[in-house]
Structure 1
Amino acid sequence: MTKLPEAKLYIDGKLRRAAGDRTFEVVGPWTGEITTLAADASAEDMNEAIAAARRAFDTTDWASNRDLRLQCVTRLRDLLYANRERLVDIARLEVGAAMGAIFSVQVDGALSGLDALIELFPTVTWEEDRGTAEAYGVRSQRLVVHEPVGVAAAITPWNVPLYINVAKVISGLLAGCTVILKPAPDTPSAAAILGELAHEAGFPPGVFNVVTGADPAMLGEMLTLDPRVDLITFTGSTAVGKRIMEKGASTLKRLFLELGGKSANIILDDAPNFAQTVASSIVCFHAGQGCAIATRLLVPRSRYAEAIAALEQAYQSFSDHWGDPEAPSQVMGPVISKKQMDRVLGYIELGQKEGARLLAGGHARPDKGGGFFVEPTCFVDVSNDMRIAQEEIFGPVLVVIPFEDDDDAIRIANQSEYGLAGHVASGDKARALRIARAVRTGSVGVNGAMAVGPDLPFGGFKSSGVGREWGREGIEEYLESKVIAVPA
């Protein structure tokens, strides 16, 4: 594997290194070796980025010039397509993505998502005539105007960084905000390349800024506390999301947060091809590092033994089909870091102590390479009150829980602090839809249908977050509503 170019800052229209030329090392998940260096921004660097974004919003026509915004974003989109191979290298070397994941959400899904946002841009309503009415003795003609919030800070995670960076940055820019992107320290290149290509696309200075740093908290804390920043959009853990909400309260930040998940896949007793449907539920895509991945499998107790047999066979069949960085059909590689590997292995140990039965996997796999490999793992005989059933592991770990009837399945699915996504499989569409409506999550796929897409709003209930990303709704999160009235 080759190394990536140094990831630089993009502040006020300039690509540059951090103050004092400070850098930090980025370790590749496949090899455990250094894959690149990234600019290690100081508080001074971040302060310059905030000032640039504030100035660009307050003193230029970016907020009002929709044609300019669309032109800039379209040029950036074209440059991203032209640099697809670089994006593939970043996803492989820095994110640890397998080639099958690159063809979907890691790279191609991000590019098609950008296309979708550009296509949705004309559907955004900027002004609404609310007609004439009399109130308090005054007859007025009323207009509702939707205008950008201001300076938006995007704090993004390491699991699918390009996809999430695109969702936040492009939506915010199209809405007319100026944007500061602060990526996770594990994946700075997926953000730095956006700054580089925005520079090449001729973005006006300050409207988009990229600030990378080794400290996972310091730069984000600055954005959260600074009164010049009007909006924070964050994707990551629920614990960090709560901290951002708490810290942002002092300046009444607009917040929208896409947080954790422990999604349930409910397979009913009348599901067509029951064994095959159960077998396809193994957690392997991107080593389970996805907030919307269904990591709780709910199966009817009346067919529990059949389900376990299908899973056992599925895991045996999959055992040799992961961990190859060159195989175009594989979707599973390493987890992002040694820290994450230790976390996942800790939960596997916990599950055994809690009394769950380890059906498959459960071990690190150093034979796959020098990186951070955990084999696909499945626990059965799990009760929903176990920590492995309630807490987000963010690794290739599936827990299997039996249920008695439909109402019991709904109860178990909803007995979670999270509510991000879910699935239901049944031969009876009406039955499946009843359960889908009863499950408290932001999206539910029925019988394999895809409820997640860049033209659809994505987000969760409860501790899975606040607000929505993607779709027209994702652009509208960056808008404020203003009422203007004139005498009728």
Structure 2
Amino acid sequence: MSRTTDRLFGASSPLLIDGRLVPGDHRFGTIDPATEEVLGEAADATPADLDHAVAAARRAFDSSPWATDLALRVRCLRQLNEALTRHADELRELTIAEAGAPRFLTYGAQLDTPVADLRWFADLAERYDWERDLGRAAPMGLTSDRRVVREPVGVVGAITPWNFPHQINLAKLGPALAAGNTIVLKAAPDTPWCAAALGVLVQEETDIPPGVVNVITGADHALGARLCADARVDLLSFTGSTGTGRAVMRAAADGLKRVFLELGGKSAFLVLADADLRAACSYAAFAALTHAGQGCALTTRLLVPRERYDEAVRLTAATMGKLGTGDPGDERTVCGPVISARQRDRIEGYLKLAVEEGGEFATGGGRPGGRERGFWIEPTLITGLTNETRTAREEIFGPVLVILPHDGDDDAIRLANDSPYGLSGAVHGGDPERARAVARRLRTGTVSVNGGVWYAADVPFGGYKQSGIGREMGVAGFEEYLETKSIAEGVS
């Protein structure tokens, strides 16, 4: 791996604070989840490092031209896009090794697509209507010219997870910077190199002024809590578990900070009675196993017609068994390792719980044979549960799919919506209008109908209920990072 990262930072990655690459006084290891090999080291930030980063971001917002110079922001975002594109080969290998991401996904959501999305946000900033004239009016008999101005929020504290590090880091950084904010990015301890590479390229290959982007890596999760509580931070943008999202909201409450939260999911894949069952079950199996099920919007409850339940179990289990697990570096692999021993143990706890709740494994249920090193879980299909069980309701974040029977469209919708989450969903049916009608009744932020792909730079992403607050991506995601100012000028 050092050969891959030599051009970026060798075998030891730095922090980015106030325009300087800082080696840090302490270091921690980053591990290949497929082999447990120590890839190298990352700077382990201290509270003092975080304090310096926040101070730099505050100073850059308050005193640099960044917030007001649109042309500078657009130019710098395009430079960053070009820099990331130039280093795509190195970043691809780094992401496969550190995140355990399947190679095929790095040509999409794990790398290439979010890098390209930076161009979309640069273009949006150029064409955005930053000021809107409301015309002249005479409220209370006082003639006034009115306008509405959109301005950046200020300092953004961004806290990101490990499962799609580039996508989530850039989905926060791109719109936040395009809007004129400065940012402190606190990356997940499991994927520090992915974040550090971004920091290196910001510093070395763009004209982004010092302090506008600060990248913090560290093994201590308490750094995130400190960032949330810092009074100099104006907005918190968090992606992660619902439990941690609640903690972010509590920390933000004292200062009445704005928050964006993209949280957990237990999304349902609805197969209607008129669907091609074989195609739908194959699609559902593929979706649930992608990146070892480590995606908040992946569909992990499969709802099928009761009268075809047994057939659906056989078809889904066969596809999951065929896909299996594989080396994430192999272009054919769909399901690689999970990120850590801690995550593997958590998933195994749910597999044990599933049996205690009356479930059975149609395929999988443990660790795959022949893989003595690395953090592996077999693709697992659980049958025999109800929607009321914990295994069917809680986010597992592994290659685990629960299959449940339904008694028609209304019952399928009821089961899908009977969840504390509302992040995503999928509907497969033979009659497109029927499938669309079902999709419109789902209480989720995104829905795929008959294989449609909603992920794109211009599509807002976020959830209902305990899946979050606000939207990321699209114009709606860009506007999360803006304030609204109304100005009225008296006319004599």
Structure 2 letter corresponding to 1:342:
D
| Runs of 5+ unmatched residues, structure 2 | 6-10
Is 1:376 the equivalent of 2:379?
yes
Alignment of 1:21-40 (within 5 A): 21-40=25-44
Structure 1 letter corresponding to 2:243:
A
Is 1:469 the equivalent of 2:472?
yes
SS of the aligned residue for 1:413 comes to helix
SS of the aligned residue for 1:284 comes to helix
Partner of 1:212: 217
For 2:481 and 2:209, locate their aligned partners in 1 and report how far apart those are by CA, in whole Å: 19
> Structure 1 stretch 336-345 or stretch 360-369: which is displaced more?
360-369
Alignment of 1:204-283 (within 5 A): 204-216=209-221, 218-271=222-275, 273-282=276-285, 283=288
Partner of 1:64: 68
Contact 1:417–1:462 (Cα < 8 Å) also in 2? yes
Contact 2:77–2:119 (Cα < 8 Å) also in 1? no
Structure 2 letter corresponding to 1:148:
P
Partner of 1:134: 138
> Structure 1 stretch 184-193 or stretch 362-371: which is displaced more?
362-371
Is 1:192 the equivalent of 2:196?
yes
Partner of 2:308: 303
SS of the aligned residue for 1:329 comes to coil
Is 1:12 the equivalent of 2:12?
no
Residue deviations 1:270-299 (CA, integer Å, cap 9, x gap): 01x221211221121000000000000010
Contact 1:124–1:476 (Cα < 8 Å) also in 2? no
TM-score (norm 1): 0.96
For 1:97 and 1:368, locate their aligned partners in 2 and report how far apart those are by CA, in whole Å: 17
Partner of 1:146: 150
Structure 2 letter corresponding to 1:351:
A
Residue deviations 1:424-478 (CA, integer Å, cap 9, x gap): 1111222111211111000111111112222110000000000010112111110
Is 1:419 the equivalent of 2:422?
yes
Partner of 2:94: 90
> Structure 1 stretch 412-421 or stretch 5-14: which is displaced more?
5-14
Between Structure 1 and Structure 2, how many residues are aligned?
A: 482
For 2:328 and 2:149, locate their aligned partners in 1 and report how far apart those are by CA, in whole Å: 50
Residue deviations 1:331-379 (CA, integer Å, cap 9, x gap): 2210000000000111111111100121010111362351101110001
Residue 93 of structure 1, CA deviation:
1.3
For 1:323 and 1:413, locate their aligned partners in 2 and report how far apart those are by CA, in whole Å: 31
Partner of 1:386: 389
Partner of 2:175: 171
For 2:129 and 2:249, locate their aligned partners in 1 and report how far apart those are by CA, in whole Å: 28
Contact 2:321–2:379 (Cα < 8 Å) also in 1? no
Structure 1 letter corresponding to 2:358:
G
Residue 114 of structure 1, CA deviation:
2.2
Structure 1 letter corresponding to 2:316:
L
Instruction: Find runs of 4+ consecutive structure 1 residues off by over 4 angstroms.
Output: 1-4
SS of the aligned residue for 1:251 comes to coil
Residue deviations 1:305-356 (CA, integer Å, cap 9, x gap): 221121132233223xx31233212122100000000001111111111001
Q: 1:124 to 1:369 in 2, by over 3 A?
A: farther
Residue 150 of structure 1, CA deviation:
0.2
SS of the aligned residue for 1:104 comes to coil
- Equivalent position to 2:129, from 113, 120, 125: 125
Contact 1:269–1:302 (Cα < 8 Å) also in 2? no
Residue 2 of structure 1, CA deviation:
5.2
For 2:283 and 2:147, locate their aligned partners in 1 and report how far apart those are by CA, in whole Å: 52
For 1:176 and 1:191, locate their aligned partners in 2 and report how far apart those are by CA, in whole Å: 21
Partner of 1:111: 115
Partner of 2:8: none
- Equivalent position to 1:80, from 80, 84, 87: 84
Residue deviations 1:65-109 (CA, integer Å, cap 9, x gap): 000001111111101000011211221111011212222211122
Contact 1:39–1:213 (Cα < 8 Å) also in 2? yes
> Structure 1 stretch 113-122 or stretch 131-140: which is displaced more?
113-122
- Equivalent position to 2:50, from 46, 52, 55: 46
Contact 1:264–1:413 (Cα < 8 Å) also in 2? yes
- Equivalent position to 2:353, from 340, 350, 353: 350
For 1:303 and 1:51, locate their aligned partners in 2 and report how far apart those are by CA, in whole Å: 60
> Structure 1 stretch 429-438 or stretch 464-473: which is displaced more?
429-438
TM-score (norm 2): 0.96
Residue deviations 1:129-154 (CA, integer Å, cap 9, x gap): 11122222212111100000000011
For 2:400 and 2:358, locate their aligned partners in 1 and report how far apart those are by CA, in whole Å: 16
For 1:277 and 1:265, locate their aligned partners in 2 and report how far apart those are by CA, in whole Å: 9
| Runs of 5+ unmatched residues, structure 1 | none
- Equivalent position to 2:450, from 434, 447, 452: 447
Residue 64 of structure 1, CA deviation:
0.7
Structure 1 letter corresponding to 2:378:
E
Partner of 1:409: 412
Residue 213 of structure 1, CA deviation:
0.8
SS of the aligned residue for 2:254 comes to helix
SS of the aligned residue for 1:54 comes to helix
Contact 1:167–1:469 (Cα < 8 Å) also in 2? yes
SS of the aligned residue for 1:32 comes to coil
Residue deviations 1:121-176 (CA, integer Å, cap 9, x gap): 33422111111222222121111000000000110000000110000011101100
Structure 2 letter corresponding to 1:6:
S
For 1:337 and 1:311, locate their aligned partners in 2 and report how far apart those are by CA, in whole Å: 27
Residue 243 of structure 1, CA deviation:
0.4
Alignment of 1:426-441 (within 5 A): 426-441=429-444
For 1:16 and 1:141, locate their aligned partners in 2 and report how far apart those are by CA, in whole Å: 50
Structure 1 letter corresponding to 2:312:
A
Aligned alpha-carbon RMSD (Å): 1.3
Q: 1:316 to 1:210 in 2, by over 3 A?
A: closer
